[in-house]
Amino acid sequence: MKDHVFILTIFLVSAILISGIFIVIFRSSLPSANNQKEVQNPKQKRFFFFALLAFVLIVLLTITIPKSPYFLFAKDTPAQVVYVNAQQFLYHMAYKEIDPLAPEDDDIELPVNATVEFRVTSTDVNHGFAIYNERAELVTQTQAMPGYVNRLRWQFAEPGKYNILCLEYCGAGHHSMRASFTVK
């Protein structure tokens, strides 16, 4: 919830700033009473606008980059690692490296309030790996890509059943591609 408020605040502040810049540009481009007169100090004005733009960008990036999920729980040792192998149109999940010949772990259980790591890959095309809580809210997500292992770290604050849905159109059975796990 705190993050939602933070993102909404960032969005509103950016929207107001960008609207402000557009209004200034619009007003300065209106023909004035003495429109024969050339713009005074055009280079200085251009520099002022670029400096303002750079300032806004730097402030926004400084605030938002540390919030990026790449740094989440980076220093933790995961309490549990789950290997995920996506393929048309299902997810194989196991606590150990996935061996296509070995049976997978059907009922994945993860600890609540502990850092867990999903190592997500795909054997065919790009898939999504999106985790939803019981209220069908998107909690976190990554891509499942052939030839890459994406590590997704998360701490589940609520126990319950979580569903995994594919967020990348991957073929005729895309809509049926889902799995679930339990957090206790």
CA 163 to CA 152: how far, in whole Å? 15
CA 155 to CA 160: how far, in whole Å? 13
Task: Verify binding: residue 164, ligand CUA, rule CB under 6 A.
Answer: no
Task: Verify binding: residue 170, ligand CUA, rule CB under 6 A.
Answer: yes
Site for ligand CUA in 80-109 (CB under 6 A): 89
Burial code (b: 16+ CB inside 10 Å, e: under 16) for 169-182 equals ebeeebeebebebe
Task: Verify binding: residue 130, ligand CUA, rule CB under 6 A.
Answer: no
Task: Verify binding: residue 127, ligand CUA, rule CB under 6 A.
Answer: yes
Q: Which is nearer to ligand CUA, 92 or 127 (CB)?
A: 127
From the list 28-36, 37-45, 106-114, 166-174, the region that binds ligand CUA by CB under 6 A is 166-174
Q: Are the C-beta atoms of 91 and 30 separated by less than 8 Å?
A: no
The distance in angstroms from the start CA to the end CA of the chain is: 21
Per CB under 6 A, the list member of 110, 166, 179, 183 interacting with ligand CUA is 166
Structure tokens at 10: 């960032």
Site for ligand CUA in 12-41 (CB under 6 A): none
50 three-state secondary structure: helix
Per CB under 6 A, the list member of 168, 179, 181, 183 interacting with ligand CUA is 168
Task: Verify binding: residue 141, ligand CUA, rule CB under 6 A.
Answer: no
